[in-house]
């Protein structure tokens, strides 16, 4: 489904006219199969979120390529209705002047134009994420963090995409709400056969929802391991990182 081949990303560093550059991602390659959930974990600054931006076409790689079902994700038509995202900062993820209904309707219009069908779809999506139709007329500031993130998830699944990027999507929530959102994501994965790219620093969350985990170190893939075999990681760095994250 999603193929990443030899991807690299470089940013300029220092002052405005400086020619100094820093390579953030170095020869990243992996594949995410249909319906698979891949976790990407690593320390802050390891390049996880940079990779996330490349995967959904917000930025372009300086080398290598990212293909979704054989076509470049840099092409908007490749992503449209097929790839969506849920981010850490739910407060800025939704236009504060949009009602919940307006926020969810945005992506639905990609596939539907009939007003009755759209309204019915909004009700259905809200129900799927554990919110009733009374939330449609509410604004983001009237909701709790967990409720806003549920709305973001409803919007993300609105077009029944084949892949969703989840970039630290639960890290800003209270622990009890994190558990609820993880359970919801797992249920939706089974219903829609969605593939997830789950970027996180929370190893327990990754172990709960992911099939495989990619461990990042300084912009490179240090190790890839099946979640069921996580305790048997090979590299010293992976063992130290996992211990640190579990302790944290």
115-170: pLDDT as tens digits: 888 888 999 999 999 999 999 999 999 999 899 999 999 999 998 999 999 998 88
pLDDT score for 17:
65
Encoding tokens for residue 129?
Answer: 């994420």
Rounded CA-CA distance 239/227 in Å is 14
Q: Which of 108, 97, 183 is nearest to 138 (CA)?
A: 97
Report whether pLDDT(28) > 80.
yes
Are 172 and 89 in contact by the 8 Å Cβ rule? The answer is yes
Length of the chain in terms of residues written? 248
Give the H/E segment covering residue 238: helix 236-247
Rounded CA-CA distance 151/145 in Å is 10
More confident residue, 19 or 82: 82
Rounded CA-CA distance 123/188 in Å is 16
């Amino acid at each position: 489904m999603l193929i990443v081949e030899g991807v690299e990303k470089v940013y300029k560093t220092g002052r405005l006219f400086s020619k100094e550059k820093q390579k953030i991602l170095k020869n990243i390659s992996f594949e995410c199969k249909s319906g698979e959930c891949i976790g990407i974990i690593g320390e802050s600054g390891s390049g996880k979120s940079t990779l996330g931006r490349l995967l959904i076409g917000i930025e372009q790689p300086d080398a290598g390529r990212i293909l979704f079902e054989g076509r470049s994700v840099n092409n908007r038509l490749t992503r449209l209705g097929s790839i969506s995202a849920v981010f850490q900062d739910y407060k800025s993820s939704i236009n504060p002047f949009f009602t919940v209904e307006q926020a969810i309707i945005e992506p639905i219009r990609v596939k539907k134009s009939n007003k009755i069908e759209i309204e019915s779809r909004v009700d259905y999506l809200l129900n799927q994420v554990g919110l009733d139709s009374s939330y449609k007329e509410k604004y983001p500031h009237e909701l709790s963090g967990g409720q806003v993130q549920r709305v973001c998830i409803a919007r993300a699944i609105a077009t029944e995409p084949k892949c969703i990027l989840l970039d630290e999507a639960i890290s800003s929530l209270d622990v009890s709400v994190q558990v609820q959102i993880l359970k919801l994501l797992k249920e939706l994965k089974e219903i829609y056969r969605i593939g997830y790219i789950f970027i996180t620093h929370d190893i327990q969350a990754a172990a709960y929802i992911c099939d495989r985990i990619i461990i990042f170190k300084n912009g490179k893939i240090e190790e890839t391991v099946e979640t069921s075999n996580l305790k048997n990681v090979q590299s010293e760095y992976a063992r130290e990182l996992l211990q640190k994250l579990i302790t944290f």
